Amino acid sequence: MQKTDCLVDIGVNFHSSQLTGLTATLLTRAKEAGVTRILATGTSLKSSQQALDLARAEPGTVYATAGVHPHTAKDWSPAVAAAIHVMLEDPAVVAVGECGLDYNRDFSPRDIQRAVFEAQLQSAIDTHKPLFLHCRDAFTDFHALLAPAVQAGAHGVVHCFTGNRAEAEAFIEMGLDIGITGWVTDLKRGADLRDAVAHIPLAHLHLETDAPYLGPKNTTKRRPYNEPANLPYVAQAIAELKQLPVSDVVRQCTQNSERLFSLP
């Protein structure tokens, strides 16, 4: 695949056990693949702090998100909320989240998920930082909670979108953006997403790996984990679906990420 510079990967779980000890190698390979900036995803108090520490250690290359994923919403407390708030004041933290609703696994009770999501929606309104959003099998409640927050000034990206065209259009109508992962390369499971991507305006799309998960199926080489260096394959799949040059997809998606997350 032809190398394209200046890619932005908006979602990497460096805290995952699959990527433990690999950070330096991953960053080197990412740079070689043209991925020049990466958002380290925070999904809990601990991983948000780890993401921030990495962003501070790799300024200009790594940025952080800080928040509590619906899986760990049951661990929310006033102390966690206060600590996340402090992190959000750091300029290296460029988004609130990963936050949202997950009714697929229900690792946290749904009422708690909703309460914690609402708290983080308010944080996004208060800090004026974008949301890094998670929605799985929870579109109706997710959209209902988001609507008043968006009206109050919240904005952001629905990360790792795997839904259908109607859901994507509903989010775009709200002014939200859509993050696309290697799921788009899965011809079977990703059929709905592939149809949606063909119709989503390029101005609303972002590229991400969600590493170490969702490795693209159009790669020529496979490792036991996904990584930022695989991001060009996501761009390639989007370009094919939209019948555009890869360079156009990379350029616009990069600009979208720079705008949303205020990246230099």
Q: Going from the N-terminus, what domains does the chain have, and what CATH number goes with each?
A: 7-261 (3.20.20.140)
Give the Cβ contact number of residue 27 at 10 Å: 21
Look at residue 162 and tell me whether its pLDDT is greater than 80.
Answer: yes
The C-alpha angle with vertex 40 and arms to 36 and 45, in degrees rounded to 5, equals 165
Q: Token digits for 215?
A: 């490795």
Is the backbone of residue 211 left (phi > 0), alpha (psi -120 to 50) or beta? beta
pLDDT band at 261 (very low <50, low <70, confident <90, very high): very high
Across the chain, what does the average pLDDT equal? 96
- On the 0-12 / 13-18 / 19+ scale of CB atoms within 10 A, 173 is exposed
Token pair belonging to 199: 């119709």
Beta strands 156-158; 62-66: pairing state: unpaired
d(CA 146, CA 260): 17
Reading across the β-sheet that carries 131-136, which strands appear in turn?
A: 7-12, 35-40, 62-66, 93-102, 131-136, 156-158, 177-180, 205-207
Range of lowest pLDDT (4-8, 20-24, 232-236): 4-8
Contact in structure between 167 and 141 (CB atoms under 8 Å): no
Task: Report pLDDT digits (tens) over 70-87.
Answer: 999 999 999 999 999 999
Q: Is 70 exceeded by the pLDDT of residue 3? A: no
40 — pLDDT class (breaks 50, 70, 90)? very high
Widest pairwise Cα distance in the chain: 49
Which tokens sit at 207? 């590229």
For residues 21-25, average pLDDT: 98
Instruction: Please list the residues that pair with 226 across neighbouring strands.
Output: none
Express as a percent the part of the chain with pLDDT over 90. 97
- What is the per-residue pLDDT across 107-142, written as a single tens digit (0 to 9) for each? 999 999 999 999 999 999 999 999 999 999 999 999
Average pLDDT over residues 40-51: 98
What is the length of the chain?
264
pLDDT at 101 over 90: yes
Task: Report the distance separating Cα 116 and Cα 158, nearest Å.
Answer: 17
Which of 216, 212, 213, 252 shows the shortest CA–CA distance to 232?
Answer: 216
- Going from the C-alpha of 188 to that of each of 111, 185, 194, the distances in angstroms are 33, 9, 10
**pTM strictly above 0.95:** yes
How far from 77 is each of 82, 83, 98, 115, 118, CA to CA, in Å? 9, 10, 17, 11, 14
The mean pLDDT value for 142-149 works out to: 98
What's the average model confidence in pLDDT over 54-82?
A: 98
Going by pLDDT thresholds of 50, 70 and 90, the confidence category of residue 221 is confident
* Alpha-carbon span 256 to 216, nearest angstrom: 22
